[in-house]
Amino acid sequence: MSCFTFVKLMMVLFNLLIFLGGITLVAMGIWVSVDGGSFLKVLGPFSSQGTLFVNVGFFCIAIGAVLVLMGLLGCCGAHKESKCLLLMFFSIVLIIFIAEVAAAVVALAYSSFAEGLLRAWATPTLQNDYGSEPVVTKIWNTTMTELKCCGFTNYTDFMGSKFAKENGGSLPPSCCWTHSAPCSPEEARRSDVQGCFKHILKTLQENANIVGGIAAGIGILEIAAMAVSMYLYCHLDKNVS
């Protein structure tokens, strides 16, 4: 078996696994989005944490769709020896890799800028959509309950919000240590529950080695995938001749 044939076979098998993984993620995402109750029953003793997974159904579908596309392009490109498909596969992986590097640079070097971008998205959502949009409300309720946090920055994110106006000025129960309704702004101020962004940032800092190792592993796999696809792309004409 020549080196080209071996690399081609590995490329097909590797991307077949990616394709199957993507299909699995899409199927799971659809399942938890449509029939979350059955999904929680399957979790059994872990069902108390299950709502966190139910709320990311659409995220699983999106990631799964990208993996399906990548796996299909890589697998078909290597099997059919199509330079076009291999180039498309290389381009998608390259775009994802650049986006990940850019996000990491912004998060590390410009953490305040990244926080500002997230706040620009989160604050209007909490002010206008929380309490009226079921999906948004469920995601935030689950996040605040599981992480024991309140809002993006703190309880002030809900001050003057649509939810507060419709509930006589009361804030979500998670903003008070008693976790009881109604949660008044005064009690929320005394409770001083930290915002979800600070909690997530603190968790990431505490587990920086694990997060960094996972990120490095993913980056290495992406670089390897690009290298293999480009190797096949450059050697197709030589193999034909």
- Each residue's pLDDT tens digit, 86-96: 899 999 889 98
With bands split at pLDDT 50, 70 and 90, how would you rate the model's confidence at 51?
very low
The strand pairing partners of 222, in sequence order, are none
Q: What is the mean pLDDT of residues 40-63?
A: 55
Q: What is the mean pLDDT of residues 60-69?
A: 84
Residues 6+ apart with CB under 8 A from 187: 176, 178
Number of C-beta neighbours around residue 172 at 10 A? 27
Q: Is the pTM of this model over 0.85?
A: no
Q: What is the mean pLDDT of residues 128-152?
A: 86
- Each residue's pLDDT tens digit, 38-47: 544 544 444 4
Number of C-beta neighbours around residue 173 at 10 A? 17
**pLDDT at 241 exceeding the cut of 60:** no
With bands split at pLDDT 50, 70 and 90, how would you rate the model's confidence at 158?
very high
| Alpha carbon distance 156, 171 (integer Å) | 9
The predicted structure's pLDDT at residue 42 = 46
**pLDDT at 65 exceeding the cut of 70:** yes
The predicted structure's pLDDT at residue 29 = 77
Mean pLDDT highest for which of 102-116, 137-151, 196-210?
137-151
**pLDDT at 53 exceeding the cut of 60:** no
**pLDDT at 238 exceeding the cut of 70:** no
Between the alpha carbon of residue 118 and those of residues 22, 111, 113, 123, the distances in Å are 27, 10, 9, 8
Mean pLDDT, the chain, as a whole number? 79
Q: What is the mean pLDDT of residues 91-103?
A: 87
- DSSP reduced 3-state for 88: helix
Q: What is the mean pLDDT of residues 117-126?
A: 82
**pLDDT at 215 exceeding the cut of 70:** yes
**pLDDT at 131 exceeding the cut of 80:** yes
The predicted structure's pLDDT at residue 56 = 59
Higher pLDDT, 41 or 147: 147
DSSP string, 137-173: HHHHHHHHHHHT--SSSSGGGGTT-HHHHHTTT-B-G
Q: Where are the domains of the chain?
A: 3-112+207-240, 129-200
**pLDDT at 132 exceeding the cut of 80:** yes
The predicted structure's pLDDT at residue 117 = 73
Nearest to 101 by CA among 222, 17, 19: 222
Q: Confirm if 64 and 23 have CB atoms less than 8 A apart.
A: yes
